[in-house]
Structure 1
Amino acid sequence: MSGRRAQAARNDEVILQSARAVFVADPSAPIAAVAEHAGVGISALYRRYPSKEELLRRLCLDGLKRYNAEAEAALAALTGGGDPWTAFEGFLRGLTDADTHSLTQNLAGTFTPTDDHMRESARAEELNTALFDAVKRAGVIRPDIELNDLTMLLEQQTAIKIGSPERISELRHRYLTLTLDALRAGPAPATPLPGSAPTARELGERWIPRHKS
């Protein structure tokens, strides 16, 4: 890329990161809040995204593509002879890191999907079914689990919002470890939990107002 194009790409990434932070926290926030968070002028933002709906569409399309990339990687590991449980665990941990389900939880129903969203969604369903069927056949997950149970379990992870981004990630992986132990078929030793449980102070700090009225 030329210097100007590279700078434009960096600016776009800053805008998208800010949009995600703003709208996941408050889907009703105005687009001006994104410009303020990103440190760019509102006119610069509108040059890239002429409306809030366009920005929401882009965020969720990127989320779908990231989801599908994680599923494709897990399927590739399976078809390449990898361990089914390792591939399945890697898939769920990758989605936890990507936090794609925060977009679903907070932004579903806030914009009109496009044909691109529909194609990526259909691809996600195809990949989900193929991956789930493969790990089911391998007998590594409990037989009474259904595909859509995984969606609900991952959406539960998005409720964990304590402390810094790093602390949130640590706690989400801690409770994902518990979830994975519950999903695994047959007797197996409990997996050591990563990180530490939230402290009373961390839990209490959630009650401190973020903004003065």
Structure 2
Amino acid sequence: MTSAPMSGRKAQAARNDELILQAARAVFTADPGAPIASVAERAGVGISALYRRYPGKETLLQKLCFDGLTLYIAAAEKAMADPGDPWDAFATYMREIVDADTHSLTIALAGTFQPTEELFQAATRASDLAIQVHGKASAAGVLRPDITVSDVALLFEQLASVKLGDHGRTEQLRHRYLALVLDSLRLPPDKRPLPGPPPEDTELRARWAPGSA
């Protein structure tokens, strides 16, 4: 059964909402203290259109974090439901969380707004699933025993902090270092070729150029 197409006004509202959320994520992960007007400017929508959907900055931050938790929960549920190789399920879970970039929100926004009850419930669900995914890999004997769930959470934050060049280059480097992380976590050790080329000195120096931040 296919859903009915949205009317022109509803379709435009949906597009505006997506633009607002994309802009808000970019703006607030770069500068959590940025005003909400910066989001409207980046999204290319009027401030009134933004306020019709999100009454204030706090509401927008709550939505961003809830969406991030939803992505995390989906990846973890998929890993728990995977009947295949336990290590492949765990590694895929790690890759999907890195691709979702949920931990950039944690790094930038933790402690900057008041969580809602819905957010608390989603965070509890995400935490429970993280424990289950970790337990599944541990019980299968594929994960080194001295690694905890909290270790993995901080590894995600470390990978989210890798930012170099454009989005594509950042994604490539994150997967390169994720491959190193996975090699260090797996029992028995598995040394596969690293994806993507290493960063060039010119890429690292370019960060210091005026206006590159």
Shift of 1:115: 0.6
- Alpha-carbon contact 2:79-2:133 (below 8 Å) kept: yes
SS of 2:42's equivalent? helix
Counterpart among 56, 59, 75 of residue 64 in structure 2: 59
Q: Where do 1:22-41 residues align within 5 Å?
A: 22-41=27-46
Counterpart check, 1:172 vs 2:174: yes
Give the distance between the partners of 1:211 and 1:67, measured in 2 at CA: 30
Which position in structure 2 is the counterpart of 1:199?
200
- Alpha-carbon contact 2:183-2:189 (below 8 Å) kept: no
Give the distance between the partners of 1:65 and 1:186, measured in 2 at CA: 32
Shift of 1:211: 7.3
Counterpart among 54, 68, 74 of residue 69 in structure 1: 74
Counterpart among 25, 28, 35 of residue 20 in structure 1: 25
Shift of 1:147: 1.0
Which ranges in structure 1 are unaligned for 5 or more consecutive residues?
A: none
**Residue type of the alignment partner of 1:49:** Y
Give the distance between the partners of 1:16 and 1:115, measured in 2 at CA: 21
Which ranges in structure 2 are unaligned for 5 or more consecutive residues?
A: 1-5
Which position in structure 2 is the counterpart of 1:91?
93
Shift of 1:3: 2.1
Shift of 1:103: 0.3
Runs of 4+ in 1 over 4 A off after TM superposition: none
Superimposed CA distance per residue, residues 68-114 of structure 1 (whole angstroms, 9 cap, x where no aligned partner): 0110111111xxx2110000000000011000000001001111000
Give the distance between the partners of 2:189 and 2:155, measured in 1 at CA: 21
> Normalized against structure 1, the TM-score is what?
0.95
Counterpart among 3, 10, 13 of residue 5 in structure 1: 10
Which position in structure 2 is the counterpart of 1:209?
210
How well do the aligned residues superpose, as a CA RMSD in angstroms? 1.2
Q: Where do 1:127-142 residues align within 5 Å?
A: 127-142=129-144
Give the distance between the partners of 1:36 and 1:211, measured in 2 at CA: 20
Give the distance between the partners of 2:43 and 2:119, measured in 1 at CA: 25
Counterpart among 124, 131, 135 of residue 122 in structure 1: 124
SS of 1:110's equivalent? coil
Counterpart among 160, 170, 174 of residue 158 in structure 1: 160
**Residue type of the alignment partner of 1:94:** E
SS of 2:96's equivalent? helix
Equivalent pairs counted in the alignment come to 208
> Normalized against structure 2, the TM-score is what?
0.95
